[in-house]
Structures are given as structure tokens and as C-alpha cells.
């Protein structure tokens, strides 16, 4: 049994780019009590628009498969504007896919279904500085 990691990210904003409503609800539940403000968008173009209008985004959780444009294209846009950390989240679990996501601009990668302690450990690398 793993020890649950407690985090306090008050004042930090996370952009969750996730087209699946059930997955988005599960992610919201993970962040209850962390102080993190979660903003959710379902499409890549909406993610770009939201990111461009909100300079306080501290980190992005990026679904790779989106209904309009790929999460990789959204990540490239984000990285062209600011060096905001992007963690790819996807059902793809192959090592070669992970390497591709990193080489395409993502800062880290987590596979679905997302495990809370693993996700928090990855986020803390960027937000606990």
C-alpha cells in the first residue's frame, strides 16, 4: 500500500485538456484539496485559445488524442509562447511513444489510467520549485 502524497499548490493553475468527460471528472477528483485551480477544455483549438488568454497557467495535462487537432500540435503552440510544463496523458503505453511525446515538446508523460501518487510526483517536479 503506497502512502498518499499530499500537496499544496494554492495559487497555481492547471489546464486540463481532455475530451472524455468521465476522464476529466476523475482528474478533478484527484485534485480536490490540493489548492490547485483546474481549468478544463475538451478540444485542442479551445486549449490554444484558453492558454493564450490566461498567462497564469502553471502546468498543462495534455490528452494526446483530441477530436480536432492533436495534443502534440497544441503542445508545440504552448511551447512557442511560453515554457509552461506539459505532461502528456494518453492510453499509449509503449516506450517509443513516450520518447516521441518528449521529443515533440512534452516535458513528461503519464499513461492512463492515471495513478494519483505518480501524477502528483510528476507535477511536483515542476510546481514545487
Q: What is the pLDDT of residues 26-57, one digit of tens each?
A: 999 999 999 999 999 999 999 999 999 999 99
Per-residue pLDDT, 91: 80
pLDDT tier for residue 113 given thresholds of 50, 70 and 90? confident
CA distance 34 to 101: 27
Which tens digits make up the pLDDT trace of 73-102? 999 999 999 999 999 998 866 778 888 889
Work out the widest C-alpha separation in the chain, in whole angstroms.
42
Q: What is the average pLDDT across 63-70?
A: 94
Cell 512534452 sits on residue? 106
Cell numbers at 37, concatenated: 485551480
Q: Which residues contact 92 (CB under 8 A, 6 or more apart)?
A: 64, 98, 111
The bridge status of strand 37-41 relative to strand 57-63 is unpaired
Contact 59, 87 (CB under 8 A): yes
State the pTM of this model.
0.92
Per-residue pLDDT, 100: 87
Amino acid at each position: 500500500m503506497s502512502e498518499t502524497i499530499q500537496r499544496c499548490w494554492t495559487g497555481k493553475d492547471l489546464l486540463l485538456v481532455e475530451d472524455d468527460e468521465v476522464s476529466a471528472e476523475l482528474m478533478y477528483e484527484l485534485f480536490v484539496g490540493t489548492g490547485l485551480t483546474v481549468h478544463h477544455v475538451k478540444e485542442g483549438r479551445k486549449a490554444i485559445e484558453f492558454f493564450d488568454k490566461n498567462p497564469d497557467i502553471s502546468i498543462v495535462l495534455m490528452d494526446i488524442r483530441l477530436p480536432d487537432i492533436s495534443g502534440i500540435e497544441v503542445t508545440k503552440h504552448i511551447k512557442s509562447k511560453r515554457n509552461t510544463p506539459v505532461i502528456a496523458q494518453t492510453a499509449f503505453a509503449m516506450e517509443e511513444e513516450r520518447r516521441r511525446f518528449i521529443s515533440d515538446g512534452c516535458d513528461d508523460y503519464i499513461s492512463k489510467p492515471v495513478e494519483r501518487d505518480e501524477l502528483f510526483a510528476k507535477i511536483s517536479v515542476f510546481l514545487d520549485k
